[in-house]
Structure 1
Amino acid sequence: MLLTIGLSLQETPFVVGKPAEGEYFVNRERELERLLLLTRGVEKAASSNSVLIGLRRTGKTSILHNLARRLRRNSRVIPITINCYGLASKSRFARLVVDTAISEYVEKTGDKAYMKRLVKVLGEKAKSAVDKVSEVSFWEFSIKLRDLRTDEDILIEEALRYVESLAKEKGVYFAVILDEFQDIIEWGRQTLKRLRTIIQDQRRVCYVLSGSATTIMHNLVYEERSPFYRQLVEIPVGKLEKDVVKKFLKSRFDFVRIKIADSEIDKIATYCEGYPDYVQRLGLELYLSVGSGGSITAAQIEKAYEGVVQSLDGEFENYFSTFSPTEREILVAIAREKSKASEIAREARKHLQNISKELRILMNYGVIERPMTGQYRMADPVLSDWLRSRFQGNTNS
């Protein structure tokens, strides 16, 4: 039963479905401050391009969101945030970069006349009719975008060069923030090389990359063959410490006068395993169940946790479907507490040598972990519980 009578939206102690900010933004100030120092350095020609690396649901998007908010409020650096997850094409990425740069610039400066000039530029048939540098760059990008013969890597180059030309012409700076960058990496080494070539020559634009495919992102930074080898400052984003989670939970429950024993707070923290997203989800589920001034018991926590798992059914179903049949069998086996490669192979009914590649891929993407030699486990505890309930059976069979 939901007990939300008499509560305003502002009184909600937890936030789900959008980036956390303010009092909901937990223990990530150090990462945020480092990013601010690195990006704002572009104003003095002293910026460093950076990369956030962490598992899914550890709060990277919230960090990037707060970075963009602070840049908009306190600096001449204009953020361009692009979510690269599932982008259909390089041309779509290029369009997003240009469109977002224009909208963020106009929003920051109030220069609506510039937008009107760009609309006029689109109608010009000859480059000679355009005189401003950024407008020429925009015109060239638009012409190449309409030409189906244009190599899509060239479109990316033109888009990023447009951002630099706009920054120079208007006396501003840009921070290009690319979330879920592992999807860009899949476009191949040649695309990455061209990206690196452009990025390293820009003076008024800095870059912040972020990715949840931890091994792939680490290889981007530290593998000698990578085009970005030692070109990025890594900022790791780990799970929250248990004491941090417990302190946050207590403060949020106190905020709405919910009574809960320390042992029950510990139980919630144990379920969430340091994932900020799950802390918010389980906290909100409990709040909606007991309401302000209520009390939380161990039984209510278990029921609320089951509710969280069920609420993620559609999301997990879609995510699970992105894996190959063999990868899905491996994930189910690991969720059913098969930790050794031989056990996983037997559970998945595959030869041991036939699952080595899939295990490596799943580790590269941060879906599974190897806490010790020869042992595997799911990185996401809630996904693991969902798989176990979705594919019920005797785990000892």
Structure 2
Amino acid sequence: MSNPFTLKTLGPDQPFCDREKDLADLAAYAEAGQNVVLYSPRRYGKTSLCRRLQAGLAGRGFLTVFCDCYAVTSVDDLADRLARQVLEALHSRESLLDKGRRWISVFRSFRPVFTPTPEGGVSLSVERASRRDSGLDVLARVLEDLDAFLTRGETPVHVTLDEFQEISELGDGRVEALLRTHIQGQRAAYCFVGSRRSVLLGMFTTRKRPFYQSALLHALPPLPRADLIAFLRARCAAGGKECPEAVAATLADLSAGYSWYAQALGFHAFALAGQRLTLEDATTAREMVQDQERFGHEAQVRDLPAPQIQLLRALAADPTSAPLAADYLARWSLGASTAAYSRKQLVSRDLIEEDDAGLWRVVDPFFAEWLRRL
């Protein structure tokens, strides 16, 4: 029997746990042409949710563009990615003849290149019209081309910019200013998505930043425990195995409401089990997920200075409301002169946070467990 859980990004047609209200809210924002900031820790399922959102919007006549800004290396790279995704969105909706007519008259910064495929279809790539311009000039032209297309108003447009906070690393703020200048006047709804929450929110809540108060803020919460328990049991049943409520509750608690961890734990527990999942399966699944995450955890700390690693280890083992208090610093051999700076840097990386109870802690529960084992 096939495993009903997946370790990949969920497709729009795959079973989701909860998120009905978030999906409805985001769709309503798009219908109203409202820009929104969607934020949460990593592995809450933001990308899957946005893919599902855009699939629904496409079914209602929207042109949808999804641009991943993760690890963008330069302004040229950003311009290339945005142009390619806009043109690919059009490519998926229009006939070749219509594309040729519209693109020749509107898009000047990049040219579409159509290549016949062995299956008899046509694949799309793009090439820059000029290689002499600076990255900022190219990005400006891409945005001007998009402005010209959108002013036609022939169809509603929704644009998702995933890991949008990464653009803050490009230059001296001119990229943000350029994007804001164009986006504010466009007839399109934007969803700015990100996992480095302090950086992303700073772009929209700091008075001197170009995107200040330009979009609604929408925090994606952890999955509700009761809904997650029901989801885990239902998926196991769909795969032909029984998951007792106590086992599903254990898996849900281990996931801490993270969509990806719930899928990973379910995947391994289901694979381990006979016809009925056990608590031992859940415990073993936890160790398997912890082991497969080890390399990512090592990468996260590899380039951190020692004071930041020490603060991470302290907060993983001993969450506190006062990480800069003298007794806490002394207990964990933390330097008073570096602790405040370390906290700021770890927050910007979204590795630690102050939770709703006022406790400073490591954000990711599996990363925290790994740190406790060091």
Same fold (TM over 0.5): yes
Shift of 1:368: 1.0
| Aligned position for 1:85 | 70
1:237 has 2:228 as partner: no
Shift of 1:199: 0.9
Distance 1:320 1:72, change over 3 A: farther
Cα distance between partner residues in 2 of 1:138 and 1:23: 35
Cα distance between partner residues in 2 of 1:95 and 1:346: 50
Alpha-carbon contact 2:147-2:182 (below 8 Å) kept = no
Cα distance between partner residues in 1 of 2:337 and 2:327: 13
Alpha-carbon contact 1:25-1:62 (below 8 Å) kept = no
Shift of 1:334: 2.3
1:328 has 2:313 as partner: no
Equivalences for residues 110-189 of structure 1 within 5 A: 110-111=95-96, 114-115=99-100, 132=105, 134-136=106-108, 138=110, 142-143=128-129, 145-147=130-132, 150-168=133-151, 171-187=154-170, 188-189=172-173
Shift of 1:98: 0.9
Q: Structure 2, unaligned stretches of length 5 or more?
A: 112-126
Cα distance between partner residues in 1 of 2:346 and 2:97: 47
Alpha-carbon contact 1:106-1:112 (below 8 Å) kept = no
Distance 1:371 1:235, change over 3 A: closer
1:301 has 2:282 as partner: yes
- 1:208 alignment partner, one of 180, 188, 191: 191
Amino acid at match of 1:190: R
Size of the aligned set, in residue pairs, is 355
Alpha-carbon contact 2:4-2:267 (below 8 Å) kept = yes
Per the alignment, in what secondary structure is the counterpart of residue 192 of structure 2? Answer: strand
More deviation in 180-189 or 107-116?
107-116
| Aligned position for 1:222 | 205
Shift of 1:323: 3.7
Per the alignment, in what secondary structure is the counterpart of residue 369 of structure 1? Answer: strand
Shift of 1:198: 1.1
| Aligned position for 2:342 | 358
Cα distance between partner residues in 1 of 2:179 and 2:318: 42
Alpha-carbon contact 1:249-1:265 (below 8 Å) kept = yes
Deviations 1:79-137, CA, capped at 9 Å, x for gaps: 2111111111111110111111112102111235635996xx7xxxxxxxxxx2x1445
Cα distance between partner residues in 2 of 1:91 and 1:202: 22
| Aligned position for 2:355 | 371
Cα distance between partner residues in 1 of 2:357 and 2:250: 29
Alpha-carbon contact 1:102-1:115 (below 8 Å) kept = no
Cα distance between partner residues in 2 of 1:320 and 1:17: 24
| Aligned position for 2:29 | 38
| Aligned position for 1:29 | 20
Deviations 1:127-171, CA, capped at 9 Å, x for gaps: xxxxx2x144547x944x501xx3422322211221222344583
- 1:66 alignment partner, one of 8, 28, 52: 52
- 2:258 alignment partner, one of 275, 281, 285: 275
Per the alignment, in what secondary structure is the counterpart of residue 138 of structure 2? Answer: helix
Distance 1:248 1:372, change over 3 A: closer
Deviations 1:296-328, CA, capped at 9 Å, x for gaps: 222221111000111122233333335444323
Percent identity at matched positions?
22
Structure with a larger share of its residues in helix? 1
| Aligned position for 1:194 | 178
Cα distance between partner residues in 2 of 1:287 and 1:115: 50
Shift of 1:243: 1.2
Amino acid at match of 1:369: E
1:106 has 2:91 as partner: yes
Distance 1:234 1:158, change over 3 A: same
Deviations 1:318-343, CA, capped at 9 Å, x for gaps: 33335444323322332233643457
Distance 1:264 1:138, change over 3 A: closer
| Aligned position for 2:121 | none
Per the alignment, in what secondary structure is the counterpart of residue 25 of structure 1? Answer: coil
Alpha-carbon contact 1:334-1:344 (below 8 Å) kept = no
Alpha-carbon contact 1:16-1:277 (below 8 Å) kept = yes
Deviations 1:61-83, CA, capped at 9 Å, x for gaps: 111111221233221x2121111
Cα distance between partner residues in 1 of 2:327 and 2:97: 63
Shift of 1:184: 1.1
Distance 1:13 1:281, change over 3 A: same
Shift of 1:245: 1.2
Aligned residues: CA RMSD: 2.7
Equivalences for residues 39-54 of structure 1 within 5 A: 39-41=30-32, 47-54=33-40
